[in-house]
A and B are shown apart, each in its own frame.
Chain A
């Protein structure tokens, strides 16, 4: 019942810092982890636009923060991340401002809003809490997720796994994928930026011949585990979640090399106002309590402070993600057009 512990840690006075995940090596690191105990109380009213959070786990975090701050009134508008980003742009264009904060599950959406000049600069003590490669002056990444190739070792056997995502359709492996899923579309956007439109549409068409479609990426991972397909395309945490419920699951993670197939994407938050409460709210999301909760419950990679990554994935420095400007992933429209042309949507 981790959910309960989170609520307790956040809402009751607990021993600050006495948490697992803080190892000796963390002390050698210059990044400071904060506990909710050290933060000022939140007061007043904020409006948060919340891009669809991982199956309610973000809601738990928000409820815990609300519970801890009785004088704080948080209004939440929920929707698909891309939809809310577009909404913020339309509102800005019409000169209507309603949101104070935008928590998105995709850096692309963040980029879209930041490029429109809506993101306010964050104080340096906030950016200093993040891992060096995730420091941005006007938004705070919260957790990371990696594109992976979950495969079924029994079915794959001694067959060769591709090291490049572009080679995947040329193997004789059967594939599972979820083209309508937003994370997948961000990945195709990355491919479009790295490989160009022609190569991407060719890849999509080749994949279409071989891949079986699923509604979401949890479905993909489950299908691979059952042996309906040899290999799938999914965010890393789906595999970890499935394995947490079924430790002996027939499932292993593979990573491609330096291409869109192992893109690291981040969820993150933007402040649209200079309001002190909004900035303090961001501090809450970077605390050890929230970060370790999202790591242990949602299996996402904590990006602030010194919090242990979820069990079962290699550390970030052993993966070779492609060099893509995360904020360019916002351009989903041409991607959708491309996917429709290829007939995969």
Chain B
């Protein structure tokens, strides 16, 4: 057995740290009096229903869109794809906030036009919002499966007299089933761990009830609920690992050329989705901005958001490098990387609960920026690792070998060959962490230092005070930050297959 390299030691330490919140939850939950009561059952039912509706809705919207965006020759195809994938980059709580404020008796819609709509809340409201912001998971995963599909069999079925829809249903669907399932599972995982949407919609899911318990400082009860939530998270992640996308040897693609009428129909079908998911929040925040102006918004909130996020991003970039390195090295490293990914699966509210308790035990950390940055780091480090790994995987190892052959030490080869080549991945990873942390709500709410108001917490505060109009600036800024994140994703790995009919890369 070789002695462990530095990268392994770092990876091991971070993996231990990632598991730390979970162990804190276990010790906290051990003093919980009630493991499960009737009310708990209702919370579980609400959560599972929300997950199921989200997955179902995301499939109903995502799959047809994927078929259209893969096979149908639309004008400005790339533009549509980017537009329809955009909701993925927006935090769903912005949508929840604006929908909640738009509909209902005292909603904006009634105030502006006199049309009174039923209120938009509860299970229905939360499900609709979740579907609007998670269907791109299904869209992208299905699209990836579709574009590796050989259309010859569909053509064969058609020549044997099967209608187009039947042939798609019976021949294409079974082969893309895994792609759809993977996307739907991701969508339901998002619904499971999101805090803002159920909170704004007044639906008692695990995340909302954990927050209520935290507010009553029933930390042990909050920890118990957190563990129950984590069990479901683990289950979804396990299922997600089971549905592997099947790769077929690339063949011909289906291509449809719609006529004018069909084109109009398709575009008018896609339009409302974009309208609700993106245009409505933008419009509502803009109206508020125009009507209520800046209110008592202070630029320091934006600066606070940026400061904590920047620290987290920098730390992530420094730590992620050796971790990505370790994960490519061997099985032990791979395993540790898996462990670190646990952090990404821990919902923010759960992370916050665990770290508040740690802070109370270690007063020098309590209500400090350091603790908040640690929470961001534990949650978003996997994003940085992933992005660096993608960059590293595409490296040609012979360059490093050549450097070693020419007498460079291992460290020097890393510094002079590997590092410059992976820098793009590092920067992109850091930027992803930065943008995610900027928008984080629940952990920031629980862990922020006193008087430390960020864009997300300010939005929460004006919501609680009922001064919706004051949410305009932070809302628009958060949308802008999300747009930056989208740009970053476009240049990153997820959209590399945006132009299909190119050579599909065999990974």
Contacts and interface: CB of A to CB of B under 8 A. Distances in A.
Given A91-B360, A219-B106, A333-B216, A59 B296 contact: yes
A90 interface: yes
Contacts of B73: none
Interface of B: 39, 106, 202, 214-219, 296, 360-361, 363, 366-367, 450-451, 461, 464-467
B464 A75 contact: no
Contacts of B39: 340
B466 A77 contact: no
Interface string A31-69: 000000000000000010000100110010000000000
Given A83-B216, A98-B366, A55 B465 contact: yes
B464 A52 contact: yes
A58 to B, nearest CB: 10
B106 A98 contact: no
A180 B451 CA distance: 27
7 contacts: A47-B450, A78-B461, A80-B464, A83-B216, A86-B217, A215-B202, A333-B218
A333 B39 CA distance: 14
Nearest to A80: B215
B465 to A, nearest CB: 5
A80 B211 CA distance: 12
Interface residues of A, number: 32
A323 to B, nearest CB: 27
Contacts of A12: none
Nearest to B364: A96
Interface in A84-107: 86-87, 89-91, 93-96, 98
B474 to A, nearest CB: 15
A75 B216 contact: no
Contacts of A94: 360-361, 363
A89 B366 CA distance: 15
Contacts of A96: 360, 363, 366
Nearest to A60: B296
Contacts of A322: none
Contacts of B450: 47, 75-77, 98
A332 B212 CA distance: 12
A77 B106 contact: no
Of listed B219, B450, B466, residue having the most chain A CB within 10 A: B450
B223 to A, nearest CB: 13
Given A55-B466, A216-B466, 9 more contacts: A47-B450, A52-B464, A56-B467, A76-B451, A79-B215, A80-B215, A82-B215, A215-B202, A222-B106
Nearest to B217: A86
Contacts, number: 58
Interface of A: 47, 52, 55-56, 59, 75-80, 82-83, 86-87, 89-91, 93-96, 98, 180, 215-216, 218-219, 222, 332-333, 340
Contacts of B296: 56, 59
Q: Which 9 pairs, one residue from A and one from B, show the smallest C-beta to C-beta distance?
A: A86-B217, A83-B215, A94-B360, A77-B450, A75-B451, A96-B363, A90-B217, A75-B450, A55-B465
B215 A86 contact: yes
A322 B202 CA distance: 33
Contacts of A89: 217
Contact of B467 (A55, A90, A222): A55
A50 to B, nearest CB: 10
Contacts of A79: 215
Contacts of B363: 94-96
A76 B450 CA distance: 6
Contacts of B219: 90
Contacts of A56: 296, 465, 467
A56 B466 CA distance: 10
Of listed B214, B296, B360, residue having the most chain A CB within 10 A: B360
A333 B221 CA distance: 13
Contacts of A47: 450-451
A340 B363 CA distance: 36
Nearest to A79: B215
Given A52-B465, A77-B451, A82 B367 contact: no
B106 A82 contact: no
Contacts of B367: 98
Contact of A86 (B216, B361, B464, B467): B216
A94 B358 CA distance: 11
Contacts of B202: 180, 215
A63 B464 CA distance: 20
Given A98-B367, A98-B450, A218-B466, A90 B360 contact: yes
A135 B451 CA distance: 31
A220 to B, nearest CB: 12
A115 to B, nearest CB: 15
A60 to B, nearest CB: 9
Of listed B218, B219, B465, residue having the most chain A CB within 10 A: B465
Nearest to A218: B466
Contacts of A218: 466
Nearest to A47: B450
B466 to A, nearest CB: 6
Nearest to A53: B465
A223 to B, nearest CB: 8
Contacts of B366: 91, 96, 98
A179 to B, nearest CB: 12
